[in-house]
Structure 1
Amino acid sequence: MIGAGAMGYRYGVLLQELAGVPVDYIDTWQPNIDAVRQQGGVYVSRDHADRHLVPINMYTPEEYEGNPDVWMVFMKQMQLETMLQRCAHLFKDHQVVFSAMNGWGHFEKINQYFPENRIYGGTALVATVLNGPGDVDFMGKAGAGTMEMCAMNEEITAVEEALAADFQTAGFNPTITQNFHGTCLAKIIFNAVANTICTMYQIRMGQFISFPGALSMAEQLINEAYDACERAGYQMTRSRQEELKAIEISSRVTNPLHYPSMYQDLTAGRPTEVDYINGYIAHLGRQHDYICRTHEFLVQGVHLAELAFRIHTQEAQMR
């Protein structure tokens, strides 16, 4: 597992505990590494309850000497290039890589080290919160999330089927598709609505969807994004109404108490990934003579929220 953050922990721990798969973790955040080594593992909760210690093995890229069959990558987009450079000496010809990171930009970076026939992308509709170093909280009932996965070359292989079987046993409910861009874009558009709006207004997903105008706002963003994707020649894996319904169900039923990962980055003082989510949609539109005005506005809105949060934090420290 390259990246021991919220999603890296969730996939790794459940694969280890439920599917019986041996998992090693590679991370570079020193407080996280120190906490895991001092504790003997990572503390795991579900919906803020049943906190318990799960033993895991964690290494820096330079320390690791393992030879896994599968690399799973869950990093922030801004950190990925440096991490791949530090791990490059570990990559072998027999290995494959799977990633369900937010946004777009990671596959081009991964493709510098692995050919398309050994890259698997996906989406993960599961909510997780990193409380702090060595401490993670899985949101939602066990087995409630879903995911899609697709080979970058769109060919189904025995390796992909084996990965899907492990994901199923671990409770992620995977579906294999043969539309790489359409599969990954569905999650980008999902995040471009729920993550971005919840971050700008610092609210939970359930609070967003309870707002009377939420579905209208979501529909506007979805339509704009689909227009851009269709102009780029991408065939989506679900209709606009299905995308809207997925956002509503996740926000209202599955994860109403969840603060999305972009919000978690904002409130921790970290840069958000909005440039790789709404920004990617806006860039795709402009590449094909279509201006995604709402997405472009939201990119600037989130960056303004980042600035405002820093200002408020500094003012509070000065009092």
Structure 2
Amino acid sequence: MKKIAIAGAGAMGSRIGSQLKKAGYDVTLIDFWDEHVQAINDRGLEIQTETDTYHIDIPACKPEDAEARYDLIIILTKAMHSEVMLQTLLDRGAIYEDTAILTLMNGLGHDERFAQIIPTTQVFLAVTVWTAGLRGPGQILLEGTGRIDLQRADGENDARTEAIVEMFNHAHLNAYISDNVIQTVWEKATLNSVLNPLCTILDKTIFEFSSYPDARQQIEPIIDEIIAVAKAKGIQLNAQTLIQKIESTYPKNAQGLHYPSMHQDLYRGRLTEIDYLNGQISAYGREFGIPTPNNDMLLHLIHQLEMTHVKG
């Protein structure tokens, strides 16, 4: 794959884009944020790690200014902006019949939404445990390690799958071809649908939330609804496995000291991705006639908080 675009060049997009660029690939960062794009073009992308701070020269543009045709486009916008990004790039001629569109976004239903714009055979789903932070326009913080699991959305693999994995591994992103990425997506979405809204509503870190002695009783009804909805869609989830994944994040030396991304978005005055997490569970529940009162309530509570904290 000769030309790569990172569509949504926030913290994670800039991490992946910078590692691919350092590995020698032709990468362009694409983002809606004017100041971010301008800073990257003026000064390069500033990267701070545990031991160093340096700049990397990498081109950036807004989606409406994209001029090239890309072989791979990695979608890492906020979920609510992804379809506009994809449609804009399609209208600009940046996407052709062999372009692979890989989404690393949180949430559910992205493959279904993207299929309304491009063929499913061009859509790849991926899940990552890499982390990154955005310090300001053109500035990111990189810590820790991670991996990426991916698969074509229809479950088939082709030459592009192998090429993406080889490229990611050349860039030290630790990529693997999944044999059931849909299940992995749902498992991560379950974790996010539990911890993101609860920590946001309660204004607590993950560790602070876990310190409540009845935290497990609090999360189990949410998980049970997600399992029921997933089963209706032909996806088998295991309650104990999900609980273990969630509780493994509680310790301070894991993710316990962190506020989830939804908390960060809300208290920085940004809309959250609740509609693509608990909101999507609720929507699937209505479709299949499955009650989801706990997920419904979390959805409404977050939207109530957005009315207070998000201006404009």
TM over 0.5: yes
Distance of 1:199 and 1:127 partners within structure 2: 19
Distance of 2:98 and 2:110 partners within structure 1: 21
Which residue number in structure 2 is paired with residue 91 of structure 1? 95
Cα gap change, 1:308 to 1:31, in 2 (>3 Å):
same
Matched, 1:62 2:64: yes
Distance of 1:167 and 1:148 partners within structure 2: 11
| Cα deviation code 1:34-83 (max 9, x no counterpart) | 222232x2222246x63332222101233333233211111112212222
Q: How does 1:1-319 map to 2 (within 5 A)?
A: 1-17=6-22, 19-39=23-43, 41-46=44-49, 50-88=52-90, 89-139=93-143, 141=144, 143=145, 145-236=146-237, 239-252=238-251, 253-310=253-310
The answer (yes or no) to whether the contact 2:108–2:276 under 8 Å persists in 1 is: yes
Distance of 2:202 and 2:19 partners within structure 1: 32
Deviates more, 1:122-131 or 1:262-271: 122-131
The answer (yes or no) to whether the contact 2:31–2:63 under 8 Å persists in 1 is: yes
Cα gap change, 1:12 to 1:218, in 2 (>3 Å):
farther
One-letter identity of the residue aligned with 1:272: T
The answer (yes or no) to whether the contact 1:7–1:74 under 8 Å persists in 2 is: yes
Deviates more, 1:186-195 or 1:123-132: 123-132
The answer (yes or no) to whether the contact 2:69–2:94 under 8 Å persists in 1 is: yes
Cα gap change, 1:128 to 1:199, in 2 (>3 Å):
farther
| Identity among equivalent pairs (%) | 31
SS of 1:154's partner is coil
Cα gap change, 1:82 to 1:167, in 2 (>3 Å):
same
Distance of 1:272 and 1:282 partners within structure 2: 16
One-letter identity of the residue aligned with 1:56: I
Distance of 1:95 and 1:35 partners within structure 2: 28
| Cα deviation code 1:224-270 (max 9, x no counterpart) | 2112211332234xx32222222222342433333222122112211
Q: CA deviation at 1:211?
A: 3.5
Cα gap change, 1:51 to 1:221, in 2 (>3 Å):
farther
SS of 2:83's partner is helix
Distance of 2:249 and 2:298 partners within structure 1: 21
Q: CA deviation at 1:273?
A: 0.9
The answer (yes or no) to whether the contact 2:70–2:95 under 8 Å persists in 1 is: no
Q: Which 4+ runs in 1 deviate beyond 6 A?
A: none
One-letter identity of the residue aligned with 1:229: A
The answer (yes or no) to whether the contact 1:195–1:261 under 8 Å persists in 2 is: yes
Distance of 1:257 and 1:50 partners within structure 2: 23
Cα gap change, 1:225 to 1:72, in 2 (>3 Å):
same
- How large is the RMSD of aligned CA atoms in angstroms? 2.4
The answer (yes or no) to whether the contact 1:285–1:291 under 8 Å persists in 2 is: yes
The answer (yes or no) to whether the contact 1:147–1:173 under 8 Å persists in 2 is: yes
Uncovered stretches (5+) of structure 2, i.e. residues with no partner: 1-5
One-letter identity of the residue aligned with 1:254: A
Which residue number in structure 2 is paired with residue 317 of structure 1? none
Cα gap change, 1:209 to 1:146, in 2 (>3 Å):
farther
Distance of 1:114 and 1:235 partners within structure 2: 28
SS of 2:21's partner is helix
Distance of 2:47 and 2:213 partners within structure 1: 35
Q: CA deviation at 1:91?
A: 0.8
Q: What TM-score do you get using the length of structure 2 for normalisation?
A: 0.87
Q: CA deviation at 1:123?
A: 1.4
SS of 2:289's partner is coil
Q: CA deviation at 1:279?
A: 0.7
Distance of 2:70 and 2:87 partners within structure 1: 18
Cα gap change, 1:135 to 1:203, in 2 (>3 Å):
farther
Q: CA deviation at 1:180?
A: 4.7
The answer (yes or no) to whether the contact 2:70–2:94 under 8 Å persists in 1 is: no
